[in-house]
Amino acid sequence: MTTELMMVIAQENLGAHIQKEQEEEGLKTCINPLQVWITSASAPACYNLIPILTSGEVFGMHTEISITLFDNKQAEEYLKSLVMETQDLASPVLRSVSICTKVEEAFCQAHVIVVLDDSTDKEVFTLEDCLRSRVPLCRLYGYLIEKNAHESVRVIVGGKTFVNLKTVLLMRYAPRIAHNIIAVALGVEGEAKAILARKLKTTPSYIKDVIIWGNISGNNYVDLRKTRVYRYESAIWGPLHYSRPLLNLIFDSEWIKREFVATLKNLTATGRQFGGILAAHSIATTLKYWYHGSPPGEIVSLGILSEGQFGIPKGIVFSMPVKFENGTWVVLTDLKDTEISEQIMTRMTSDLIQEKLVALGDKIHFQPYQSEHKDLVPHEEKNPVMSDGFEGKTVES
């Protein structure tokens, strides 16, 4: 073969290769990636969330995603460095990553919106001011979501401050997609499992079905009556699917009523341990369940708008037991032995109702619930977990 002929063939091959690449790129542009927006992207949780989202574990290895980091202008330089780090991951599922600091462009065609704790420079001196300060941003986000986001957008609210309140405000100001707004409760679940695992000298992932009721970042109730422990090393041993009730393994009921409660209350009230890693993992896990379903038979805690289930007043966002299936969640109203005493339920719902009223200006002062009765049930009749000594955890802002 002559040199001239070889050059002609090489040129033809190059042209065919370029044409093939252009066709593939054209096909890619026809396949719209999943648009994921993260608010307050300078928060530590975002830094830890990005590698999980780009790993393919959340949305699947066959779903490409485009991530947009949304924050104020002051965070722009940090966001640029975060974009470069994200690109360095060279993830096969990441189509693009970009930043947005222009409010009017926020949530453009978003399929998923992750709402993280917002940072504010405004100084607040009272709880009431703190509650009311959440309204303007939620009103703005609600308007922009309704205006710019995809019609089937899913909004997931995480963080460690006023999670239920922010969720119900977003529902108020984005009514068209209110059914697709949820609050993450798995962070509190994780904290509870870790404390119990240290007590039992086992692994937190072996503990299942811890239920979080009420205010995720405030006055809540951790229900251990359905909790089971798998692969526990003891005199009784079974296959991998064999489990035992947790309350049958912790014989010290005083530890549950006092030390367990005090430790969990301290962690949640101060925000300790609920840092970027735990927040990111709980958000990513909830998203994974939302898209692909939760493990069969497992109970998941989720903050959703109450429709009167379990005797919870309608119109407040309340954490309750659910399962995920077929791209949505189902409230597990058929669970047995999950009744909550009137006093505990009133304490949780009273605070949530007041938070909403104070934030919207319908009530001037927040008054923490105080029981009229110190003891509603004789001590010996109390369930060790349902005891009135099981105090809620109040977030101090």
Residue 57 or 241, more confident: 57
188 burial (CB, 10 Å; 0-12 / 13-18 / 19+) is buried
Residue 228, pLDDT > 70, answer: yes
Residue 149 confidence (pLDDT):
96
> CA-CA distances (angstroms) from residue 98 to 169, 211, 387?
27, 37, 50
The answer to whether 206 and 244 have CB atoms below 8 angstroms apart is: no
Task: Report pLDDT digits (tens) over 137-184.
Answer: 999 999 999 999 999 999 999 988 899 999 999 999 999 999 999 999
CA distance 214 to 355: 13
Task: Report pLDDT digits (tens) over 6-41.
Answer: 888 889 898 888 888 777 666 555 578 999 999 999
**Residue 119: band (very low, low, confident or very high) from pLDDT cuts 50, 70, 90:** low
- The tokens of 292 are what? 């692909």
Min mean pLDDT across 233-242, 305-314, 335-344 is at 233-242
Identity of residue 358: V
Q: DSSP label at 369?
A: -
> CA-CA distances (angstroms) from residue 144 to 78, 182, 316?
24, 18, 23
CA distance 169 to 24: 44
Task: Report pLDDT digits (tens) over 198-225.
Answer: 999 999 999 999 999 999 988 889 999 9
Q: Which residues contact 239 (CB under 8 A, 6 or more apart)?
A: none
Q: Pinpoint the alpha helices (H) of the chain.
A: 3-30, 44-53, 76-88, 127-132, 134-148, 163-173, 186-200, 253-254, 261-270, 276-292, 342-359
For residue 318, count other CB atoms closer than 10 A to its CB.
28
CA distance 126 to 390: 26
Q: Which residue has the tokens 């047995």?
A: 336
Residue 122 confidence (pLDDT):
61
pTM, to two decimals: 0.84
What domains are there in the chain, each with its CATH number?
31-183 (3.40.50.720), 185-360 (3.90.110.10)
Residue 321, pLDDT > 60, answer: yes
